[in-house]
Structure 1
Amino acid sequence: MTIPQVLTIAGSDSGGGAGIQADLKTFQMRGVFGTSVITAVTAQNTLGVFAIHPVPRAIIQAQLKAVAEDFTLSAVKIGMLGNAEIIDCVAEGLEQYSLPNIILDPVMVAKGGSPLLQRNAVTTLKKRLIPKAHVITPNIPEAEIITGIKIRNEQAVFDAAEILHELGAKTVIIKGGHLENSQSVRCKDWFFSPQNHFVLESPRIDTRHTHGTGCTFSACIAAETAKGKGIEQAVRIAKDYISSAIGHSLNIGHGHGPTNHWGYQDE
């Protein structure tokens, strides 16, 4: 039996709650072998991001070459990229090595508010990476930046999803945790594909320990698709996985603590 092999292309989080670290923990818990291409080294913890060092293009290219030429990759999760040059470099690598099942988490802002993608790189993201995405998983602020739509209600969510489809993303998941007028006890995420659309709901958990939720959610989708799950099933598993990771808090750190990557157990 061959173990599914998955690649994460993202930044390193020295606090261990997001980025490469969260992705590899998720891969391990979901039974796939994780490899990585690091795009940036950050100095951060639960209180914030204090320094960012982008990895040089040549080193990113070398990492991609080393992984792609040795491992049989079944899915790729893409997270923090940082700038237009790195986006372009990653897009070239995806093309060169014909990498499958691209799960794009368009990371733009850290949980504490620090920018993780230069604003002038959004155009490059739209032109070079979104058309390659089998799944894109923006939260509300990220979807607003990419589409130019102010999302204040469900109709705006549908409008933003249509634009993301027009940009080339095959499946769109807009995460609704940031919806300003949402005072509900339920959290909603919206799933859109050419074949189907539906709402994923979960209880709204009152906790500040949500660092790395987007990374973990998209990494779980990548892991499940690598195991052969269909997109809809993979997304439903990922929703259950992240809900459990948030609900079984570790209470680590003095700020926005990490989620619990081993909180979820298959029924």
Structure 2
Amino acid sequence: MKTALSIAGSDCSGGAGIQADLKTMTLNGVFAMSAITALTAQNTTGVSGILEVSPAFLAQQIDAVFLDIRPDAVKIGMVSSAPLIATIAERLRFYQARHIVVDPVMVATSGSRLMETDAVRSLREQLFPLAEVITPNRQEAEVLSGRPIHSREEMLAAARAIAFDCHCSVLLKGGHSDTDADDLLVEADGTETWFAGRRIANPNTHGTGCTLSSAIAANLAKGYSLPQAIARAKGYITAALSAGLDLGAGSGPLDHTLGGKDIFTWMNGAPDAIQE
């Protein structure tokens, strides 16, 4: 069985973070493991507290996983400080980890800030060059590129700039667009691919970024190419949104079980064709 490791923060309400990652990886057919960067007190309405682990303990968690059940892919989510980022980068270089997916989680769906300013610089310098792909949303891409994004042309310019500056492939997510949910992949070699996305009339989007990046990592672990892994991950998240789960007083979580559908049937028929 293929394996995947999530390095991210814990969401006690279960909709995002490590909890969403483990559900997503499991439902996408890999054995899921975790290294927790921080505990958060949060729910669908906001984040009320963050308690980081120490860099030494984070390193111990990563070591424990790699020395026993080596992951075939690694997803990195919420890492709120530069020392933790440095620890992750050093350990992943040491183990020569493959298929690294970085979701640069800067702000929660509720609007709460999750990353210190110096951590953003550390992400760019230390983690992005190790990544097979990074998955910023529009707001995160604006921070990383220093460019406003209001159109497909501006998405393309921002993604190209980030890929060039950070030496990695970039999946710029279009889910925050007002008109569609099309995503853009600019690969490290300059190849550009648009993935058409159907906008789902569902206000409950807590954990969508965590879910998409974890599904990509799971499918990379299973041997799919990067474009195929993205297409399959988009199919999964569309199904999870379409299930229409409605929990909590704020922006609620997705239904990672796809409304109780036969997940194995879904996986066998999951899309792996890309949209030009």
Task: Tell me, yes or no, whether TM beats 0.5.
Answer: yes
CA distance in 2, matches of 1:154, 1:217: 20
Amino acid at match of 2:224: K
Summarize the Cα distance change of 1:260–1:169 in structure 2 as closer, same or farther, 3 Å threshold: farther
User: Which digits, 9 at most, give the CA deviation of each residue in 1:73-114, with x for residues without a partner?
Assistant: 110000000011111111111111111110010000001110
- How many percent of aligned residue pairs carry the same amino acid? 43
Count of matched residue positions in the alignment of Structure 1 and Structure 2: 261
Answering whether residue 151 of structure 2 is matched by residue 157 of structure 1, we say no
TM-score, normalisation: structure 1: 0.94
Q: Give the aligned residue type for 1:152.
A: H
Structure 1 ranges of 4+ moved more than 3 A: none
Aligned to 2:181: 187
Q: Distance in 1 between matches of 2:160 and 2:218?
A: 26
Tell me the alpha carbon deviations over residues 193-235 of structure 1, each in whole angstroms, 9 at most, x when there is no partner.
2263222122212222110000000000000010111111100
Change in CA separation of 1:216 and 1:169 when aligned onto 2, cut-off 3 Å:
farther
From 32, 52, 77, give the equivalent of 2:50: 52
**Which of the residues 75, 82, 102 maps onto 2:100?**
102
Contact 1:37 1:63 in 2 (8 A): yes
* Matched AA of 2:193: F
* 1:203 and 2:198 are equivalent in the alignment: yes
Q: What per-residue deviation string (whole Å, max 9, x for no partner) do you get for residues 159-201 of structure 1?
A: 211222123343211011223xx3x3x3211111226322212
Q: Which residue of 1 aligns with 2:210?
A: 215
In structure 2, the partner of 1:234 is 229
CA shift digits 1:47-79 (9 cap, x unpaired):
111110011111101101111111121100000
Q: Indicate the residue corresponding to 2:39 in structure 1.
A: 41
SS of the residue corresponding to residue 203 of structure 1 reads: coil
Following the alignment from structure 1 to structure 2, what is the Cα–Cα distance between the partners of residues 151 and 139? 10
- Determine whether 1:32 maps to 2:27: no
Partner deviation per Cα, 1:106-141 (whole Å, 9 max, x = no partner): 000001110111122211111101111101100000
Partner of 1:71 in structure 2? 69
Q: Give the Å deviation of 1:154.
A: 1.7
Alpha-carbon separation, structure 1, partners of 2:201 and 2:29? 29
Classify the secondary structure of the residue corresponding to 2:230.
helix
The corresponding residue for 1:80 is 78
RMSD: 1.2
